[in-house]
Amino acid sequence: MKKHGFAIGSPIAVTGATSELFGNLQPVDPSQSLLHYLPLHRFASLISGAAIYLRRLDLFQDQFEGKLPAANDSEVSDFTAQFMGQFGMTEKDVNNWKAFLTGTNRKLTYVHCWFASDSEDVSMWRDYADSGNGVCVRTTARRLGEAISRPSQLGLELRRVTYTGEQEALPEIISCLPAGRKQARPEFIRECEVRIIGTITEKPWAAGFTTPDREPPDHQLISVNFERLFERVYVGPNAPDTTFQEVEALANEAAGCRVVHRSSLSPFPLS
């Protein structure tokens, strides 16, 4: 892929949201600060299991996760139309790809979410960490990549999420793109999400993960080294002293050094 296009035969220009999606396939800046907010009980589970939890994409509360925009229901993307013209792909071929992306591919893809930010955010504490009573793990893209294991059944990547509207059709024939796409809703855009995306590799897929009586598991666990992962662990601004003490004991022992700090934010109302 060149800077302004995609070339197998004649170059295919990419613009708009398609261009941004391709751009976000590039590695995340290793120095990028990443935050992950979670309730206390999930933090305790993270420590006890020494593993990061990836949820299957089609089981997220947002039922549009991993899907193409509404525009793809009624039209073919410009990228795919040019590809069809060059390589003889038919409309039936494209429809088969759409069905794969909407169905099978979402069941083969797992996600774990982080947020690209240098500072804490009240709305993130409220939405993801028990109204400020939970925990926030701080790391960097480099540390995260070095901390996680690479299980044989999953292909892993760390990717910035691209936020797109429903009016622009996106390429239907590149299966990795929709997993890094979310609707351009204000509550999503503010998150600046960076996600670990895990995709079931060919060998386990061929072993029968898509047969009618055997679906892929609803989650995947990947082992993590806390000494490398934890840059800092913040205890929520609304958390009591007992929570701080519990997190301090868990995280400092796991990291092998002092990583636990109070949130820099002041306590805030629960509603």
Interval 100-127: pLDDT, tens: 999 999 999 999 999 999 999 999 999 9
The alpha carbon of 40 is separated from its chain's Cα centroid by a whole number of angstroms, namely 21
Is residue 7 in a domain?
no
Is residue 234 in a domain?
yes
pLDDT at residue 1, as a whole number: 45
Distinct helix (H) and strand (E) counts, the chain: 11, 13
Is residue 18 in a domain?
no
Between strands 181-183 and 162-164, the pairing is: parallel
- Which amino acid makes up residue 31? S
User: How many domains does one find in the chain?
Assistant: 1
pLDDT tens digit string along 142-184?
Answer: 999 999 999 989 999 999 999 999 999 999 999 999 999 999 9
Distance (Å, whole) CA 135 – CA 37: 6
Query: Whole domain around residue 120: which residue ranges?
Result: 25-262
Contact 146, 228 (CB under 8 A): yes
pLDDT at residue 201, as a whole number: 87
Contact 119, 80 (CB under 8 A): no
Distance (Å, whole) CA 255 – CA 228: 8
Query: Which of 140-149, 186-195, 204-213, 237-246 has the weakest average pLDDT?
Result: 204-213
Q: What is the pTM of this model?
A: 0.91
Is residue 68 in a domain?
yes
Is residue 247 in a domain?
yes
Name the range with the highest mean pLDDT among 142-146, 201-205, 267-271: 142-146
Tell me the C-alpha to C-alpha distance, in Å, between residue 188 and each of 22, 33, 123, 198. Answer: 20, 18, 12, 21
pLDDT band at 215 (very low <50, low <70, confident <90, very high): confident
pLDDT tens digit string along 94-107?
Answer: 999 999 999 999 99
Does residue 200 have a pLDDT over 60? yes
Is residue 80 in a domain?
yes
- In which residue are the tokens 């999953």 written? 154
Distance (Å, whole) CA 39 – CA 130: 5
Is residue 179 in a domain?
yes
pLDDT at residue 2, as a whole number: 47
Query: pLDDT above 90 covers what percent of the chain?
Result: 84
122: its two tokens: 């009240």
pLDDT at residue 3, as a whole number: 54
Is residue 36 in a domain?
yes
Contact 37, 125 (CB under 8 A): yes
